[in-house]
Amino acid sequence: MTALALPHINYSRMALDQRETKEWLRAIARHLNLSPSQLALNSGMAASTLTRYLNDNSNSVGITQSSLEKVARYSGFRPNQLPGGSRPGVAEPDAIPFRHDNREWPEWVRTAVEAARGGRNGVEAWVMKGAALDGLGVMPDDILLIDQNARPKSGDVVLAQIVDYSAGTAETVMRLYQAPFLITHSMRLGPGRPEHVDEDRVSIAGVSVGSIRIQH
């Protein structure tokens, strides 16, 4: 009988990948002020999907790429890109996902967001936190409907990610797209540095297709 040659498995590399993935998931949960169970539910998964994986110390429980992509779509951060809100000098993120379970929002706001989404796949609500676009009338605490399937064109307000490879972080921002650059348009902050969209360090995650304003 001929012996079957088994492929070499690099268990140390697997353990490192698991550790990095778990660190990313925990960082996302902390950044959004959610428990792992809440992050899983908000991302469209069973509550136990992340807790079983994060609490396993034997590396016997895995997580699918599909689950990681769901977290990425919900959070706005690609796998292993850490939230930029944790960087020194960044007081809070520029934009955060709208949380339907956040009871600080009045019931009519949550109802309005669901009505605006209209059950469309790929359309999610995000809350503008910074003043980068106040010159366009996009104010802090405005809720923007972001279509992840829309193709951006010049003049669109877009949700984007800017990666800082030297710091190992990524920041989710709202910007004005003037191809091929992202720019700010702020009366309060003044001119900002244009960012070139290269789909590596700077990438567009979706296009604003509507907004809801609470009060200002």
Tens digits of residue pLDDT in 54-91: 998 887 888 988 888 888 778 767 666 666 544 433 34
Q: Which tens digit of pLDDT belongs to each residue from 134-175?
A: 899 999 889 999 999 999 999 999 999 988 776 677 789 999
- Of residues 120 and 8, the one with the higher pLDDT is 120
At residue 203, φ and ψ (nearest 5 deg) are -140, 150
Q: Which two tokens stand for residue 67?
A: 């689950």
CA-based nearest residue to 202, from 178, 182, 176: 182
pLDDT interval class at 116 (50, 70, 90): very high
Catalogue all structural domains in the chain, each as residue range(s) with its CATH number.
Answer: 11-77 (1.10.260), 81-216 (2.10.109.10)
Question: 118 and 95 in contact (C-beta within 8 Å)?
Answer: no
Average pLDDT, the chain: 82
Per-residue buried b or exposed e for 186-214, using 16+ beta carbons within 10 Å of the residue's own CB: beeeeeeeebebeeeebebbbbbbebbee
Q: What is the pLDDT of residue 85?
A: 44
Q: What is the pLDDT of residue 8?
A: 38
